[in-house]
Amino acid sequence: MTTSRTLCLAPAAALLAAALTACGGGPAEEAAQPVGNATPAPSPAAEDPAGDVVDLPEAVGGALDLVAAGESIAVLGESGLAVGTPDEFRSGEPEVYETGEGCGQLSARGATVAVACGETALILDAGSGEEPRRVELDAAHPATSAVVTGDGRLVTANDSDNEVAVYRDAKGGSPADVIEVEAPTDRLVAVANHDGPDGVVRVWREDSTIQNVDLEGSREGGRLRVGLGVGEASPGGSGVIVASDTAGDQVAIYTSAGVVRLQQTSPVAESPWGVAFDSSRGLALVASTKENVLQGYSVATGVPELEAEAPTIANVRSVAATESGEIALVADAGGQLQLIDEL
């Protein structure tokens, strides 16, 4: 286990090379240090949101999180998990599973959806019609975030302890490894890389950092600041991770092969929070609460370029895009789901 940690404090708008390799120390740079603990600005009333806005099943409760898994969407609520295709949500017929209270963040890798609920994790194969598997976790390592990697490992973390637990498979029991990290975790993200194992990164809002976790080396990896205050992070294709810099009004694009690296940043509409990657259009999606707008940025060149915009419901917290490009959004503890098929 490594005890050497390097934290780069360069602002997100700095040159990429500086963000990846060096940290300055001048007074002007110190004045621009990230502040962390970002929160999204409250939204004005929504005006004519794009697409369809449908009610979530009452059994789900207020929405907490949202992911896409293949052509399915999973919405975690205060008391349940709803899973279905966009059309099944439109017709009010998604599958609904009881979760109880105390569940944390949703994640998806391919068609596999995972959510941590303290001493258990729920793992679901979206589209299969099967009940979620309830996996018992080690009580010494409770979880608020969980991801299942492409090789079947279950990785968990929580928002209180400086550790990441790695289970050999998604069957629970005792972890095969517990990796010490610099801080607790608000969100874990697993993303497929071109070659080699999945990249696993953790986000901590208090100090606005993103860090990769080296599962093979059983150690924490490099840790970078995300602008002035990170909001959310979401996996994309080919090792890409999209993150919102809520306090700095930016979107940041990272890659995760080997170590986490900042590749691009761009100004966006004020107070971005929910993010996703739309692989069908090749767009990084960013929802800004201050302006009730979803923006789509092409990341094919060296600088993100705005390609599309759409009005949203108020107070969007989570964004997801299916493989075919259907976009879904939910609001903070809201009871509705916005679905956009054309952007």
pLDDT at residue 21 above 50?
Answer: no
Percent of the chain with pLDDT over 90: 82
Residue 8: per-residue pLDDT: 40
The vertex-105 CA angle with 103 and 107, nearest 5°, equals 125
How confident is the model over 73-91, as a mean pLDDT? 97
The residues with which 197 forms a beta bridge, in sequence order, are none
How confident is the model over 107-119, as a mean pLDDT? 95
Provide the 3-class DSSP secondary structure of residue 274: strand
Query: Looking at 109-113, 195-199, 239-243, which range is the least confident one?
Result: 195-199
Radius of gyration of the chain (CA): 19
Average pLDDT, the chain: 90
pLDDT at residue 186 above 90?
Answer: yes
Percent of the chain with pLDDT over 70: 90
CA-to-CA distance for 343 and 325, rounded, in angstroms?
9
The tokens describing 22, both together, are 């060096």
Residue 32: per-residue pLDDT: 55
pLDDT at residue 155 above 50?
Answer: yes
pLDDT at residue 19 above 90?
Answer: no
How confident is the model over 124-146, as a mean pLDDT? 94
What is the amino acid identity at position 133? Answer: R
Q: How confident is the model at residue 100 (pLDDT cuts 50, 70, 90)?
A: confident
Task: Please say whether the beta carbons of 189 and 201 come within 8 A.
Answer: yes
CB neighbours (10 Å) of residue 119? 16
Domains and CATH numbers, the chain: 38-340 (2.130.10.10)
Residue 196: per-residue pLDDT: 84
The 8 Å CB, 24+ separation contacts for 29-36 are: 33/9, 34/9, 34/207, 34/208, 34/225, 34/226, 34/227, 34/228, 34/229, 34/247, 34/248, 35/208, 35/228, 35/229, 35/247, 36/205, 36/206, 36/207, 36/208, 36/229, 36/230
Query: Looking at 10-24, 287-301, 326-340, which range is the least confident one?
Result: 10-24
pLDDT at residue 130 above 70?
Answer: yes
pLDDT at residue 26 above 60?
Answer: no
Q: Model-level pTM?
A: 0.89
CA-to-CA distance for 316 and 51, rounded, in angstroms?
15
Task: Please say whether the beta carbons of 151 and 163 come within 8 A.
Answer: no
How confident is the model over 185-194, as a mean pLDDT? 94
Of residues 166 and 129, which shows the higher confidence score? 166
